[in-house]
């Protein structure tokens, strides 16, 4: 067994997990390394942040997913460095040698050089981010209910979402639903439906990757949900209790106690490691510029898949940082490894684009399938089925279905718990 080909995969997201699964019958030893013990279905993370689903509903324990795959080990560990010369991954508590390495560590959010904004405007990438965001949103209403000062109360009732991409649109739309429907009868002093929800986007429209008519449809649906959409608005400053935006010449400071960040993306630090250790080139958000076969130039034994890769060979632009390209890339790399072992020829990676979906709220979504553009209810039904079918583990699919059906008919979100370190006394 000593000379079995060793494949090490860093990251159990869509890219890493699909590569691991596709290697099930390959004559290799697979080690999947992740900091978390679960695969997270990130497209639905905003539903955890807004109290519709529980974290476990969108997370599948990696060991469970791979338990019947005898050539595969799961390692709960953090990869801190890649020694490309010595062909080993350095962990925070050990090291692990590889013959082939797949790096699939994705991305996190960035604040365009203003890291000090993070504590006032948290982003949404992990389960902990989601429960923290849920806590902030629910505590804002709780604090407003008890705040006697009208101006302070208004700041607690103002929610600013920064970034008009899919995550920002989903968060803002859902906040609109929470304020207008979910919490309608919950309070005695405040009226949650008077909450002010702002979506701030720097470009001239929301959902920039979509065709302009669908962006316009999304804007209308957001407005109907009570969201004020501010396009062409740059965030100039974020501080405790306020956000300052500039629209053209006009600068405005908005008092708010809840700012949610859905704007900048920064590739994982392992990209920089590949630049230092393997001579990889990074683009301006830190993604690794890969060859047509997804390898690092000069290192045919190192593959990069998912958000961390900049693959521009097909369209001249990097593939979007969403699940389908990551899944397809993971499978392609697994097949490439198998073909190499059996000495077969390998074609370059080709991404098959099935289209683009974004949801805004209840029965409201946009779908760009290339040959067909939809918005409203039909797009939402497509969104629903695609997400439901892609959730890993049958039990979670069932639980999500039950909760969505409940949410649809009652508009109630039962997972709205304030958890975490004791939040009392409220910061009035």
Site of interaction with a copy of itself (CB under 8 A): 35-38, 54-57, 59-61, 63-64, 67-68, 73-78, 91-94, 127-128, 131, 138, 142, 146, 183, 185-188, 393, 395-396, 398-399, 402-403, 406, 410, 412, 414-420, 422, 424-426, 428
Give the β-pairing of 72-76 and 28-34: parallel
Closest CA to 360 of 188, 175, 193: 175
Identity of the residue, 112 or 408, whose beta carbon is nearer to a copy of itself in the bound complex = 408
Which one, 64 or 244, has the nearer CB to a copy of itself?
Answer: 64
CB 200 within 8 A of CB 264: no
- Cβ nearer to a copy of itself, comparing 13 with 163: 13
Q: Which is nearer to a copy of itself, 116 or 412 (CB)?
A: 412
Min separation Cβ 335 and a copy of itself, Å: 25
Interhelix angle 394-410/377-390, rounded to 10 degrees, is 150
Q: At what angle do helices 166-177 and 212-224 cross, to 10 degrees?
A: 20
The residue among 185 and 250 lying less far from a copy of itself, judged by its C-beta, is 185
Burial class (CB in 10 A: 0-12, 13-18, 19+), 36: middle
Distance of CA 58 to the CA centre of its chain: 12
Nearer to a copy of itself, 129 or 335 (CB): 129
- Select 143 or 215, whichever has its Cβ closest to a copy of itself: 143
Q: How far is the CB of 148 from a copy of itself (least distance, A)?
A: 10
Q: By the 8 A CB rule, do 125 and 40 touch?
A: no
CB of 184 to a copy of itself, least distance (A): 8
Least distance from C-beta 181 to a copy of itself, angstroms? 12
Measured distance CA(410)–CA(306) in Å, rounded: 37
CA distance 117 to 262: 13
β-pair partners for 162 = 200, 261
Q: Look at residue 414 and give its three-state secondary structure.
A: coil
Are the beta carbons of 236 and 242 closer than 8 angstroms? no
Closest distance of CB 419 from a copy of itself, Å: 5
Closest CB 224 distance from a copy of itself, rounded Å: 24
Half-sphere exposure for 272 (CA within 13 Å, toward CB): 8
Q: What is the DSSP letter of 179?
A: I
Options 170, 201, 335, 338, the catalytic residue: 170
Query: Which CB, 4 or 37, lies closer to a copy of itself?
Result: 37
Going from the C-alpha of 178 to that of each of 71, 172, 200, 287, 415, the distances in angstroms are 46, 10, 19, 36, 12
Least distance to a copy of itself, CB of residue 401, Å: 9
Residue 291 known to be catalytic: no
Structure tokens at 366: 């946009």
Supply angle C-alpha 231, 47, 113, rounded to 5. Answer: 50
Which residues in 314-397 belong to E strands, given as ranges?
356-361, 364-368, 373-375
CB of 416 to a copy of itself, least distance (A): 5
φ, ψ of residue 61 in degrees (nearest 5): -55, 125
Catalytic residues: 170
């Amino acid at each position: 067994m000593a000379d079995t080909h060793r494949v090490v995969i860093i990251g159990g997201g869509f890219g890493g997990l699909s590569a691991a699964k596709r290697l099930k019958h390959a004559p290799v030893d697979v080690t999947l390394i992740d900091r978390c013990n679960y695969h997270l279905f990130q497209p639905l993370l905003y539903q955890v942040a807004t109290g519709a689903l529980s974290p476990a509903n969108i997370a599948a324990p990696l060991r469970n997913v791979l338990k019947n795959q005898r050539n595969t080990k799961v390692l709960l560990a953090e990869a801190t460095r890649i020694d490309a010369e010595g062909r080993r991954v350095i962990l925070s508590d050990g090291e692990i040698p590889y013959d082939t390495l797949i790096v699939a560590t994705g991305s996190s959010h960035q604040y365009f050089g203003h890291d000090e904004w993070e504590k006032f405007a948290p982003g949404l990438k992990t389960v902990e981010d989601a429960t923290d965001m849920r806590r902030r949103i629910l505590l804002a209403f709780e604090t407003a209910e008890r705040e006697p000062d009208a101006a302070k109360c208004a700041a607690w009732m103002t929610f600013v979402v920064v970034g008009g991409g899919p995550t920002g649109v989903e968060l803002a739309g859902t906040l609109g639903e929470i304020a207008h429907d979910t919490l309608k009868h919950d309070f005695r002093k405040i009226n949650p439906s008077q909450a002010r929800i702002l979506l701030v986007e720097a470009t001239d429209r929301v959902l920039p990757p979509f065709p302009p008519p669908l962006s316009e449809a999304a804007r209308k649906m957001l407005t109907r949900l009570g969201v004020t959409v501010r396009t062409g608005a740059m965030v100039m400053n974020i501080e405790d209790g306020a956000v300052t935006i500039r629209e053209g010449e006009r600068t405005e400071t908005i008092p708010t106690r809840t700012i949610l960040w859905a704007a900048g993306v920064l590739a994982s630090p392992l990209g920089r490691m590949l630049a230092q250790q393997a001579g990889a080139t990074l683009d301006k958000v830190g993604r690794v510029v890969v060859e047509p076969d997804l390898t690092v130039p000069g290192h045919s034994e190192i593959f990069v898949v998912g958000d961390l890769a900049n693959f521009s060979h097909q369209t001249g632009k990097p593939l979007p940082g969403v699940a389908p390209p990551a899944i397809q890339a993971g499978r392609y790399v697994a097949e490439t490894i198998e073909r190499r072992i059996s000495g077969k020829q390998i074609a370059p990676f080709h991404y098959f684009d099935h289209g683009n979906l974004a949801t805004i709220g209840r029965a409201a979504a946009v779908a760009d399938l290339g040959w067909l553009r939809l918005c409203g209810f039909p797009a939402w039904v497509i969104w629903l089925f695609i997400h439901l079918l892609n959730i890993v583990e049958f039990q979670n699919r069932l639980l999500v279905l039950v909760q969505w059906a409940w949410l649809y008919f009652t508009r109630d979100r039962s997972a709205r718990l304030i958890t975490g370190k004791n939040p009392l006394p409220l910061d009035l």
